[in-house]
C-alpha cells in the first residue's frame, strides 16, 4: 500500500490564501504519493471538521463546490482526503481557513470620499474616523477600495502588507475591493481607522509625444466599510461618508506613477490613525458619486517581494554618485539617513549607464525621480504610491560625502510586483542560457504589476495586448499567473463591450487611438483564455471569456469583408523586426497584411476549439468554417504554387508552420525554406514580436531542431544571448536596445525591461527540456526532450496544478539519459528519439538512449 497525502488545498485561483470570491468556489488539491502510477478514484471534503461530502471523481483541479452556496462574511475550515485506485485512503489534509470575500447584492454601502480642500491636482492625503467597540469581537473584515491607490491603518497599524491597492482596472467599468481580516487590530473601547492615499493610475496622465492627458479623474478618492461581528450574534458596519475628516497632510507631498514621489519627513503626522488624535482642524471630506460598485479582488495583490543591497558605488565622469544594485528591478529605494532639517536628497532612477552616466533618455517624459526632505533627525524614507524600473539610482544632496560602505548599507532596493507564486525553473549546461532564463523571470516580475505591462520605467507601463498575447504561455510556466491573467481578462471583456468587440492596443484602454483593431494585439482576447485552459485547466476562464473571444473574431471578420483578407488598415505587424530602423519599429520583412489574416485563421480556430469544449456545437462549426475559408484565402493570396510565401521572411514561414496554415507537404517545404533563411542569416534572429515566440517551434516541428539550437545559442546581435553578453539582467525591448559600443539605441522607444522576446522560454521548457502539457492543466504530460548541439544538459521543473513535474536530459559518451518526474494523479506520454511513444504513470522515470545528434554536433560550440 502506498503512502499518500494531500499536500495542498486551494480555493479558486489565488495561491496566497483560501478566498471565496463567489458563493460556489471551486476547490483544488495536490497529492503526493510514493506509489507508482497513483490515480485518484474518489475524494472527500470536510467542512468545519464535521460535514463530509464524498466526491466520486478522479479530478483534483477546479472541482465544483460540493456544499450549499456560501454566504457573505462566512468563515469555514476545509480539509480533503483522497482514495486511490489502489484502495488506500490518505489522512485528512491540514485544514485551511476559507473566507467569503464577496458581498451580497446591495450590501456595498461605503461612499467614495475625497479631500474637500486638495492642494493641487492629484493631491495625496489622509482621511480618518473613530468608532467605539463596546462588545467582544468575534470577527472583523475590512472591505476597501480606491479611485487611486491607498493603505488603511487601524489603531496605528497597517491592515496588511499589500501596496498600490487596489491596483489598476478599467475604472469606468470595474473596480476591485479588498476583504481583509482585521479582527486582531480592533480593541474594546475607542478605535481609529485611517486611510492614506494618492492618485496612482487613476489620476495619471497617459499619452505620448507631450500629448498626455488624464483619463479618469483629477483627484483620488477612497471607500471603506468595516464589518464587525460580535460574539453575541450582533454586528456593526462602519462606512466612509461625509462624517469622515481629511486633509492634504502627511509626508507624501506629491506622487505620480511616472513622476515619482516627494516625501517631506517634516510633515509626518504623529498618531493620526490612532484613537484620540485631534482632527478638529481637518475639514469634513467631500463625497464623490461613483457609478461602479466595487467587486472582490480575484488576483494576488502587489507586495514587496524581495530586497537587494548595493553592489557597487560608482562615481560617474561628471562626479555624480550612482548606486548599482546589480539587477534591473521594479520597485523603489528604502533610505535611512540623518542630516540637516530641510535638506533634499534627489533620487533619479535608470536601467542602464551610458558612457558612465545615468541613461535617462529612454524614460522619455517620465521623471522617475523621488525627492526626500530631511527632518533633522534620523529618517527612513520609502515611497509608497509610485514605482520605478531601475538598476541604477543616482543620489544628489546626500548630507556629507557618501561613504561607499557605511552609507551604502543604509540604502536598500525594494522589489515590488504582483505576488504570484513561482512555478517554473530551468537549467542547462550553458551559463548564458541560464542567465537568459533568469532575465525572463525578472522581466516578468517587473512587468506583472497589477496588470501585464510592456515596460516598467518610461512614460508608458501600459497593458499592451500584443506583449501578453505572445508571452502568456511563458508567463503560465514561470509563475502561477492564472488568477492574475483571469482578472486582467475581465477588463479586456469590459473594454471590448464598450468598443464594438474590439480588443484594443492596451487594456485598460487609455490611449486616444488605442481602441482600434490590430492583429496579434487584439488576438489576446482569444489566445490568453486558451492558454489559461491549456496550462491551468481553467475551464471557467474559457467560459467567462468566450463571449469576448467570439466578439473579437466577429469584429475582424466584419473588417476583413467577404474575401476574409484583412487588408488596408493599420497594423503593427511583426513589430520590432531586427531590420526595422530605429525610428520605424513597425517596418518588417514580412508584410503586415500577411500577419493580419494569418491571425484571423488562428483566432477563429481557437474560438471553434473553445466552442467544442464548452458544448456550443453550432458555434464550433461556424468558426471552424470561418477559419478554413480564411486559410484558403490566405494561401491563394500569399503563397506561390511552389510553396514560397510572397514575403520571403522568417516570420512568414514560422506563422505558416506554427499556425498550421498549410498541409503536411507544404509544411515540409516551408520548414526547409525557414531553415535556409536562418542559415543565410548566419543563425541570427530575423523576427519581431510575431515571429519570435514561434520560430523555434516551427523549426523543431519540421525537423530542424539543430537550426533552432544554433539560433538560440547565437551571441552576436541580433540574438537572444547578445543582451546577456552585454550584461543584461532583464530582456530588452529591441534586439539592440544597447549597441555594441555601449550606447543606447537612437530610437525614441527603447526599454531594457520588456518580456516579449523572452517568449522563447516556453519552447525551452516544452521542447528543449521536453516538459509540456498534453491535456488541459497538465492532466497528461508530454515528455519529449529535443537535445541540441552545444548543450550537454537541459532540465526543467514546473509546478503544475497537479504537483511538481520534471523533465530533462544529460548527454555523456554518446548516450542521452532522460529523467522525468510525473505528478500523482496524472500520466505522461513519453516520446524519445528513436523509440516508440510510451505511456507512464506518476513517479520518477529514467531512460537511456543513443544520442540522436550527429557525433560532430555533440559538443558543437555556440555560434
3-state secondary structure of 287: strand
Residue 259: which of 203, 299, 315 has the closest Cα?
Answer: 203
3-state secondary structure of 101: coil
3-state secondary structure of 54: strand
Report the alpha-carbon distance of residue 658 to residue 670 in Å, rounded.
11
Q: How many CB atoms lie within 10 A of CB 640?
A: 9
Give the bridge partners for 411, in sequence order.
Answer: 335
Report the alpha-carbon distance of residue 646 to residue 668 in Å, rounded.
17
Compute the Cα dihedral for 419, 421, 423, 428 and give only its sign: positive
Report the alpha-carbon distance of residue 852 to residue 854 in Å, rounded.
7
Helix axes 482-497, 524-536, angle to 10 degrees: 150
Report the alpha-carbon distance of residue 843 to residue 33 in Å, rounded.
8
Backbone angles phi, psi at 392, to 5 degrees: -115, 140
- Contact call for residues 434 and 428 (beta carbons, < 8 A): yes
Active-site annotation holder among 460, 495, 593, 806: 460
Cell (9 digits) for 276: 484620540
Active-site annotation holder among 430, 733, 799, 806: 733
Residues in the chain: 863
The answer for residues whose C-beta is within 8 angstroms of residue 561's C-beta and 6 or more apart is none
∠ at Cα 74 (71, 79), nearest 5°? 110
Beta strands in 374-469 (DSSP E): 378-381, 388-396, 411-418, 424-428, 448-449, 451-452
* Longest CA–CA separation in the chain, Å: 85
Helices (H) and strands (E) in the chain, counts: 14, 45
Residue 181: which of 131, 222, 228 has the closest Cα?
Answer: 228
Residue keyed to cell 516541428: 701
DSSP single-letter state for residue 736? T
**Active-site annotation holds for 460:** yes
Report the alpha-carbon distance of residue 304 to residue 384 in Å, rounded.
11
- Contact call for residues 292 and 223 (beta carbons, < 8 A): no
Residue 591: which of 632, 638, 630 has the closest Cα?
Answer: 638
The answer for residues whose C-beta is within 8 angstroms of residue 95's C-beta and 6 or more apart is 49, 77, 78, 79
Q: How many CB atoms lie within 10 A of CB 572?
A: 22
Backbone angles phi, psi at 699, to 5 degrees: -65, -45
Backbone angles phi, psi at 128, to 5 degrees: -155, 165
Report the alpha-carbon distance of residue 200 to residue 385 in Å, rounded.
6
- Contact call for residues 64 and 24 (beta carbons, < 8 A): yes
Give the bridge partners for 285, in sequence order.
Answer: none
DSSP single-letter state for residue 95? P
- Contact call for residues 277 and 245 (beta carbons, < 8 A): no
Cell (9 digits) for 184: 486582531
Terminus-to-terminus CA distance in the chain, angstroms?
A: 53
Residue 380 burial class via C-beta count within 10 angstroms: exposed 0-12, middle 13-18, buried 19 and up: exposed
3-state secondary structure of 739: coil
Q: How many CB atoms lie within 10 A of CB 741?
A: 6
Contacts 24+ apart (CB under 8 A), 359-363: 359/744, 361/744, 361/750, 362/457, 362/458, 362/744, 362/750, 362/751, 362/752, 363/457, 363/458, 363/459
Active site residues: 460, 733
Amino acid at each position: 500500500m502506498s503512502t499518500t497525502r494531500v499536500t495542498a488545498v486551494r480555493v479558486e485561483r489565488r495561491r496566497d490564501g483560501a478566498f471565496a470570491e463567489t458563493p460556489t468556489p471551486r476547490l483544488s488539491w495536490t497529492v503526493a504519493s510514493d506509489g507508482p502510477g497513483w490515480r485518484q478514484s474518489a475524494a472527500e471534503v470536510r467542512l468545519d471538521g464535521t460535514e463530509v461530502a464524498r466526491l466520486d471523481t478522479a479530478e483534483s483541479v477546479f472541482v465544483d463546490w460540493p456544499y450549499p452556496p456560501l454566504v457573505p462574511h462566512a468563515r469555514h475550515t476545509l480539509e480533503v482526503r483522497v482514495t486511490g485506485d489502489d484502495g488506500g485512503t490518505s489522512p485528512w489534509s491540514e485544514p485551511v481557513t476559507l473566507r467569503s470575500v464577496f458581498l451580497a447584492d446591495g450590501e456595498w454601502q461605503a461612499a467614495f470620499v475625497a479631500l474637500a480642500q486638495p492642494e493641487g491636482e492629484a493631491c495625496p492625503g489622509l482621511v480618518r474616523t473613530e468608532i467605539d467597540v463596546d462588545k467582544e469581537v468575534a470577527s472583523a473584515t475590512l472591505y476597501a477600495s480606491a479611485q487611486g491607490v491607498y493603505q488603511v491603518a487601524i489603531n496605528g497599524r497597517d491592515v496588511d502588507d499589500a501596496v498600490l491597492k487596489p491596483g489598476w482596472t478599467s475604472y469606468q467599468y470595474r473596480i476591485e475591493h479588498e476583504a481583509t481580516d482585521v479582527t486582531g487590530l480592533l480593541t474594546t473601547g475607542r478605535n481609529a481607522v485611517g486611510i492614506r492615499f494618492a492618485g496612482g493610475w487613476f489620476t495619471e496622465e497617459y499619452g505620448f509625444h507631450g500629448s498626455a492627458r488624464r483619463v479618469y479623474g483629477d483627484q483620488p478618492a477612497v471607500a471603506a466599510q468595516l464589518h464587525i461581528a460580535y460574539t453575541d450574534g450582533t454586528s456593526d458596519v462602519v462606512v466612509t461618508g461625509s462624517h469622515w475628516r481629511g486633509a492634504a497632510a502627511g509626508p507624501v507631498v506629491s506622487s505620480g506613477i511616472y513622476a515619482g514621489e516627494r516625501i517631506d519627513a517634516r510633515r509626518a503626522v504623529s498618531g493620526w490613525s490612532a484613537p484620540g488624535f485631534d482632527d478638529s482642524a481637518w475639514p469634513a471630506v467631500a463625497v464623490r458619486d461613483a457609478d461602479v460598485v466595487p467587486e472582490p479582488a480575484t488576483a494576488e495583490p502587489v507586495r514587496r517581494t524581495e530586497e537587494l543591497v548595493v553592489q557597487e558605488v560608482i562615481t560617474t565622469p561628471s562626479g555624480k554618485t550612482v548606486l548599482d544594485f546589480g539587477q534591473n528591478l521594479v520597485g523603489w529605494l528604502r533610505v535611512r539617513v540623518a542630516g540637516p532639517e530641510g535638506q533634499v536628497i534627489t533620487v533619479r532612477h535608470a536601467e542602464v549607464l551610458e558612457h558612465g552616466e545615468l541613461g535617462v533618455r529612454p524614460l522619455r517624459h517620465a521623471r522617475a525621480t523621488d525627492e526626500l526632505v530631511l527632518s533633522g533627525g534620523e529618517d527612513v524614507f520609502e515611497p509608497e504610491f509610485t514605482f520605478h524600473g531601475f538598476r541604477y539610482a543616482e543620489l544628489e544632496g546626500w548630507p556629507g560625502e557618501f561613504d561607499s560602505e557605511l552609507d551604502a548599507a543604509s540604502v536598500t532596493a525594494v522589489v515590488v510586483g504582483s505576488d504570484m507564486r513561482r512555478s517554473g525553473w530551468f537549467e542547462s549546461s550553458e551559463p548564458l542560457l541560464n542567465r537568459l532564463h533568469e532575465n525572463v523571470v525578472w522581466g516578468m516580475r517587473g512587468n506583472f504589476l497589477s496588470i501585464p505591462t510592456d515596460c516598467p520605467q518610461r512614460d508608458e507601463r501600459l497593458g499592451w495586448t500584443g506583449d501578453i498575447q505572445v508571452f502568456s504561455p511563458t508567463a503560465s510556466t514561470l509563475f502561477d499567473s492564472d488568477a492574475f491573467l483571469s482578472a486582467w481578462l475581465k477588463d479586456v471583456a469590459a473594454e471590448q463591450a464598450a468598443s464594438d468587440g474590439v480588443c484594443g492596443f492596451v487594456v485598460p484602454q487609455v490611449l486616444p487611438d488605442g481602441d482600434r483593431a490590430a492583429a496579434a494585439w487584439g488576438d489576446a482576447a482569444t489566445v490568453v483564455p486558451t492558454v489559461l485552459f491549456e496550462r491551468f485547466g481553467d475551464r471557467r476562464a474559457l467560459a467567462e471569456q468566450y463571449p469576448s473571444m467570439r466578439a473579437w473574431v466577429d469584429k475582424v471578420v466584419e473588417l476583413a469583408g467577404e474575401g476574409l483578407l484583412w487588408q488596408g488598415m493599420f497594423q503593427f505587424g511583426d513589430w520590432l523586426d531586427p531590420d526595422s530602423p530605429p525610428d520605424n519599429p513597425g517596418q518588417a520583412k514580412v508584410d503586415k497584411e500577411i500577419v493580419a489574416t494569418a491571425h484571423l485563421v488562428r483566432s477563429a480556430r481557437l474560438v471553434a476549439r473553445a466552442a467544442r469544449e464548452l458544448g456550443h456545437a453550432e458555434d464550433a462549426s461556424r468558426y471552424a468554417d470561418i477559419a478554413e475559408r480564411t486559410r484558403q484565402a490566405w494561401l491563394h493570396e500569399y503563397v506561390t504554387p511552389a510553396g514560397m510565401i510572397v514575403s520571403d521572411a522568417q516570420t512568414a514561414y514560422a506563422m505558416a508552420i506554427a499556425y498550421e496554415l498549410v498541409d503536411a507537404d507544404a509544411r515540409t517545404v516551408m520548414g526547409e525554406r525557414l531553415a535556409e533563411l536562418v542559415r543565410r542569416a548566419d543563425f541570427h534572429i530575423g523576427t519581431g514580436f510575431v515571429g519570435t515566440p514561434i520560430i523555434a517551434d516551427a523549426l523543431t516541428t519540421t525537423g530542424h531542431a539543430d537550426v533552432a539550437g544554433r539560433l538560440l545559442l547565437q551571441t552576436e546581435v541580433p540574438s537572444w544571448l547578445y543582451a546577456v553578453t552585454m550584461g543584461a539582467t532583464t530582456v530588452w525591448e529591441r534586439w539592440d536596445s544597447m549597441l555594441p559600443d555601449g550606447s543606447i539605441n537612437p530610437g525614441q522607444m527603447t526599454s531594457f525591461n520588456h518580456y516579449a522576446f523572452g517568449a522563447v522560454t516556453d519552447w525551452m521548457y516544452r521542447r528543449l527540456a521536453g516538459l509540456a502539457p498534453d491535456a488541459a492543466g497538465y492532466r497528461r504530460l508530454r515528455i519529449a526532450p529535443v537535445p541540441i548541439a552545444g548543450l550537454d544538459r537541459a532540465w526543467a521543473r514546473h509546478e503544475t496544478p497537479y504537483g511538481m513535474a520534471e523533465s530533462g536530459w544529460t548527454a555523456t559518451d554518446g548516450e542521452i539519459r532522460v529523467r522525468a518526474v510525473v505528478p500523482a494523479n496524472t500520466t505522461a506520454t513519453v516520446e524519445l528519439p528513436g523509440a516508440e511513444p510510451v505511456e507512464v504513470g506518476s513517479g520518477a522515470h529514467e531512460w537511456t538512449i543513443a544520442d540522436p545528434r550527429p557525433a560532430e554536433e555533440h559538443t558543437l560550440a555556440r555560434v
